[in-house]
Amino acid sequence: MPHKAPVENLPLTAAHWGVYRAEVNEGKLRALHPFERDPNPSLIANGYIGVLDDELRIDAPMVRKSWLENGPGSATDKRGVDPFVQVTWDEAETLVANELNRVKASFGNEAIYGGSYGWSGAGRFHHAQSQLHRFLNCIGGYTRSVNTYSLAAGEVILSHILGDPASFIHNPPSWQSVVENGELLVAFGGMPLRNSQISSGGTGAHRARSALSDAKKKGMSFVNISPMRSDVAADLNADWIAARPGSDVALMLAIAHEFLSNNWHDRSFLDRYTTGFETFARYVIGQVDGIVKSAAWAADIANVPAQTIKDLASRMATSRTLISVSWSLTRQEHGEQPFWMATTLAAMLGQIGLPGAGIAFGYCAANSIGMERQPIKFASFQQGKNPVTTFIPVARISDMLLNPGSTFRFNGQTLTYPDIKLVYWAGGNPFHHHQDLTKLERAWQKPDTIIAHEWCWNALAKRSDIVLPCTTQLERRDLMMTPRDPYIVSMEEVVPPHAEARDDYEIFTGISRKLGVDTSFTEGRSSDDWLRWLYEESRQKADSCGVILPDHATFTEKGWHYIDPGTPSSGALEAFRKDPRVARLETQSGRIEICCAQIADSRQDNILPHPAWYAPEEWLGNATGKHRLHLISGQPADKLHSQLDHGPESQVKKVNGRAVAGLNPVDAETMGVCDGVLLRVYNERGACLVSARLDPSLMQGCIAISTGAWLDAARQEDGTLICQNGNPNTLTRDQGTSDLAQGPAAHSCLVSIEKLTVSFGQSKAYLPPVIQRA
Ligand SMILES: Nc1nc2c(c(=O)[nH]1)N[C@H]1C(S)=C(S)[C@@H](COP(=O)(O)OP(=O)(O)OC[C@H]3O[C@@H](n4cnc5c(=O)[nH]c(N)nc54)[C@H](O)[C@@H]3O)O[C@H]1N2
Ligand SMILES: Nc1nc2c(c(=O)[nH]1)N[C@H]1C(S)=C(S)[C@@H](COP(=O)(O)OP(=O)(O)OC[C@H]3O[C@@H](n4cnc5c(=O)[nH]c(N)nc54)[C@H](O)[C@@H]3O)O[C@H]1N2
Ligand SMILES: [Mo]
């Protein structure tokens, strides 16, 4: 028997879902053991077992056959169908370099779309998107994207009403401040612990679960306003208000109306710290549109008893209250309004900036939300300057590809879509993340060339012209270093790169050599040089704020270092509360903008200058037509988006080999559906196949299909796509939240279901494409 090393001596690695020690035997990854200091580790890492060298691993550079034989723009309708031809790295680099040169020369850098949205791997250096952006900047720039799929509407509205969105999203009252001072936490969209497994860039300590139970032990109470009871952990005993999805703003307005009518609002806070409250109040009492936003009015919209709303308002007015709004509320039609309205409610309560009170955006949307912020600003790998000015709001990709030259509104401006000839993607999966995949598939045929770096044959890789095989985060050294985690970790290369796979950095170095820009891309540094540089620069920055980090050799030898997170914080608005003149907000007025002049100025966008209720086009409130079920396509518990869907952790959670769809048992009975039955979920945009699961924690009228199942698309008779593997984005709508943010609105979606008795066989999602080897 070989001697087994103690787990604490195994090499460390990190992912967005945590830090692990890797057990490797005969060159194969056998297990990822949770970091011994993580109080609540995530099982998502188990998804890696067996997939680093399976048949879905991309082992060499590949080119789509028609593209290779007939050149750019050839048979673009065969993307996803054509076989691939294996080429050498040298051939691949030349093809990419020549094509970039051709597009630049004929159409300009604007014709290159490098938005490349996506999460890729953890690690401060090998971040695919940053690598791509730096590379494209070295060759003259690219059309970029702005904001996120996570909460674009939130980012835009917060920039108007609070100023710098990042600081308000990422710095709510910290967990410690909540535990020590909290009384009542009202969570719109809940605080699902499943989502707090993730933290962008990695985490050494999952804290959300223990923070919430500590708060509970100290006497805090919780209200969960959500279509899912399970969106707040069962042991917190939250009161559940199952409001119709999309109705939250109406509910909040009715709470505001209660505050106003009972004189529970804090006038002096509103006077000192906000602008435009009077105009908003006139809207609430019906002086703007003749509608009083009373509890009775909201009761009809939200399908919640008026008395429940009144009771909640009174509880909020008589407690130290913290309001949390989930990011999911921004991913729906008029997704700008919930953050705006919730901030207004918190301002009316006058507790913003107090310990454990006020407003927070998305506790548990990621483990980092609620973590104390490090005093250090870590160094990062610079992306350089992009001389091209064209951009799109990230979720407008299909519209951009389909409608070059046409105009659209965004945040008070009129912009024009560029004519994209080349799409370059590294570290994201648009056939996971984008809405209305039938439309995306059509848009995807427009560019001449699509280049992707991927490590596995997912839907993006299969639909690209040139596929360059990259390493996974387990196959390279890196540095886990994020602003809201107390651990920094030296990530080791726990297994060697598979076959011909290369790091993104190495791939770009090779191409930049062909293009003659390698000196500016690498600055003469290897990956290891950069890692040392990033560490040493960060160490100096730490030093200047009084934090001592060990030298590089000591750090890499031990593998991790703990930085004391410091004192609890009441959040980014604490200083503003202390002195609103000194800590002026970066808004036009310097205060919280309940009424916003900038938004009022862009009148053509049909948005009132204060938070307001707009009935969505697709929601249960008008589900009187064909489709009667509201689709919730939230985050998957067993993976991060589409990553590792082919791995064992995700696969064992499938039922009869398919993604599951949650249904309320009462609805299921009405429709004659029992557990495990095969369903076709459909609407005008497309369809997907799923296995039914009865879930009493889901409100009636909803169906819940987590995102992340790899696309296995076939055409239906009407030309729309059906995903045999349960990808809900075949159903969702590709529609901007509003002209203000143009964010994704996946959560506004109605569907129908039918039971299927025919058998559909194995999904093709997990089969590699046909490959012609040299
Ligand atoms: N219907 C619906 N749709 C949604 C959402 C929803 O709630 N509902 N949520 C949205 C949200 S919030 C988000 S953030 C998006 C997420 O969308 P994405 O971030 O695009 O999803 P991922 O599956 O994480 O894609 C990351 C890709 O990077 C690849 N990768 C991993 N490591 C590396 C690496 O080192 N180098 C390279 N080159 N590639 C690597 C992975 O294999 C994977 O294909 O989805 C959005 N889509
Ligand atoms: N395990 C895991 N964790 C993740 C991710 C992952 O892929 N896997 N992705 C990460 C990313 S990139 C992001 S952006 C965050 C996203 O974090 P969130 O946006 O919080 O995630 P969701 O799961 O989409 O939504 C949370 C809940 O909102 C509820 N909800 C939906 N519509 C409405 C509505 O109209 N009103 C109300 N009140 N509630 C509603 C649903 O019941 C859903 O369970 O999660 C992160 N965490
Ligand atoms: Mo996200």
The residues, any chain, with a CB within 8 Å of residue 62's CB and separated by 6 or more, are: 84, 85, 86, 87, 466, 467, 469, 771
Return the number of other C-beta atoms located less than 10 Å from residue 672's C-beta: 8
Residue 56 lies in a domain: no
For residue 639 and ligand 1, the question of a CB distance below 6 A is answered with no
Same domain as 296, residue 318: yes
Give the Cα separation of 720 and 713 in Å (integer).
9
CA angle 675, 677, 678 (to 5 degrees): 145
- The rounded Cα 669 to chain-centroid distance in angstroms is 34
Instruction: Output the CA 149–ligand 3 centroid distance in Å.
Output: 5
> Which band of pLDDT confidence, cut at 50, 70 and 90, is reported for residue 603?
low
**Per-residue pLDDT tens over the stretch 188-231:** 999 999 999 999 999 999 999 999 999 999 999 999 999 999 99
Please provide the distance, in angstroms rounded to a whole number, between the alpha carbons at the two ends of the chain: 42
User: 312-341, pLDDT tens digit by residue?
Assistant: 999 999 999 999 999 999 999 999 999 999
187 DSSP 8-state letter: E
- Same domain assignment for residues 639 and 725: yes
Of 243, 400, 331, the C-alpha closest to 736 is: 331
What is the separation of C-alpha 699 from the centre of its chain, rounded to a whole number of angstroms? 24
CATH number for position 126: 3.40.50.740
Nearest to 573 by CA among 588, 586, 587, 583: 583
Q: Tell me which residue has its CA closest to atom 12 in ligand 2.
A: 150
497 close to 482: Cβ distance less than 8 angstroms: no
Instruction: Tell me what the mean pLDDT of segment 391-404 comes to.
Output: 98
List Cβ neighbours of 539 (8 Å cut-off, separation of 6 or more).
549, 551, 552
Residue 215 in any domain: the answer is yes
Residue 678, domain CATH: 2.40.40.20
Q: What are phi and psi of 34, to 5 degrees?
A: -60, 145
| pLDDT of 576 strictly over 80 | yes
Tens-place pLDDT, residues 53-87:
999 999 999 999 999 999 999 999 999 999 999 99
Nearest to 14 by CA among 430, 499, 488, 680: 488
283 is catalytic: no
Q: Are residues 323 and 260 in the same domain?
A: yes
Taking the C-alpha atoms of residue 289 and residue 760, their distance in angstroms, rounded to an integer, is 53
As a whole number of angstroms, the distance between CA 238 and CA 191 comes to 11
Alpha-helical regions (H) of 526-627: 527-544, 552-558, 574-578, 597-601
Choose the residue to mutate in 120, 328, 394, 463 for probing ligand 1, maximizing ligand atoms within 8 Å of C-beta: 120
For ligand 2, what atom is nearest to the CA of residue 245? 35
| Whether residue 166 is found in the same domain as residue 251 | yes
Q: Are residues 136 and 166 in the same domain?
A: no
Same domain? 546 vs 514: yes
Which of 195, 200, 334, 642 has most ligand 2 atoms within 8 Å of its beta carbon, as the pocket-test mutant? 195
Residue 760 lies in a domain: no
Give 602's pLDDT tier (boundaries 50, 70, 90).
confident
List, for residues 5-51, the tens digit of each pLDDT value.
Answer: 789 999 999 999 999 999 999 999 999 999 999 999 999 999 999 99
Name the token pair of 429.
């999966």
C-alpha to C-alpha distance for 745 and 737, rounded to whole angstroms: 5
Q: Residue 422 forms beta bridges with which residues?
A: 112, 449
187 within domain boundaries: yes
Q: For residue 640, give the ligand 2 atom closest to its CA.
A: 7
Find, among 27, 6, 38, the residue nearest to 480 by Cα: 38
Q: How much is the average pLDDT of 503-512?
A: 98
Q: Which residues form the domain of 741? A: 620-755
User: In this structure, is residue 338 part of a structural domain?
Assistant: yes
> What CATH number has the domain bearing residue 327?
3.40.228.10
**487 counts as catalytic:** no
Of 419, 426, 474, whose CA–CA distance to 452 is shortest? 426
Active-site pick, 48, 119, 175, 340: 119
The strand order across the sheet containing 28-34 reads 12-15, 18-25, 28-34
pLDDT for the residue 220: 98
Residue 3 Cα, ligand 1 centroid: separation in angstroms? Answer: 39
Position 381 in a domain:
no
Cβ of 504 less than 6 Å from ligand 1: yes
Quick check: 1 pLDDT over 60? no
Total number of domains in the chain: 4
Pair 638, 709 in one domain: yes
* Residue 318, in any domain of the structure: yes
Choosing from 67, 113, 117, 766, the catalytic residue is 117
Nearest ligand (C-alpha, residue 653): 2
Atom of ligand 2 nearest to the CA of 362: 20
Task: Name residue, tokens 């673009």.
Answer: 76
Total number of residues shown for the chain: 774
395: which residues sit within 8 A by CB, 6+ positions away?
149, 152, 434, 435, 734, 736, 742, 743, 744
Least confident of 47-51, 348-352, 373-377, 439-443: 373-377
pLDDT at residue 45 in the model:
98
Residue 3 has pLDDT above 60, yes or no: no
The protein residue with its alpha carbon nearest to ligand 2, atom 14, reads: 150
Question: Do 71 and 107 belong together in one domain?
Answer: yes
**Domain check: are 647 and 501 in the same one?**
no
Are 748 and 683 in the same domain?
yes
- Which of 462, 493, 646 lies closest to 48, judged by CA? 646
Q: For residue 256, is pLDDT > 90?
A: yes
DSSP per-residue string spanning 481-506: --TT-SEEEEE---SPPPTT-B-HHH
In the three-class reduction of DSSP (H, G, I as helix; E, B as strand; rest coil), residue 697 is classed as coil
Question: Parallel, antiparallel, or unpaired for β 18-25 and 12-15?
Answer: antiparallel
Task: Tell whether ligand 1 has an atom less than 6 A from the beta carbon of residue 641.
Answer: yes
Nearest residue to 317 via CA among 290, 289, 294, 350: 350
Measured in whole angstroms, how far is the alpha carbon of residue 192 from the centre of its chain? 14
Residue 418 in any domain: the answer is no
Find the mean pLDDT for residues 110-138: 97
Mean pLDDT, the chain, as a whole number?
96
Let me know whether 335 and 468 are in one domain.
no
Task: Give yes or no: residues 258 and 136 share one domain.
Answer: no
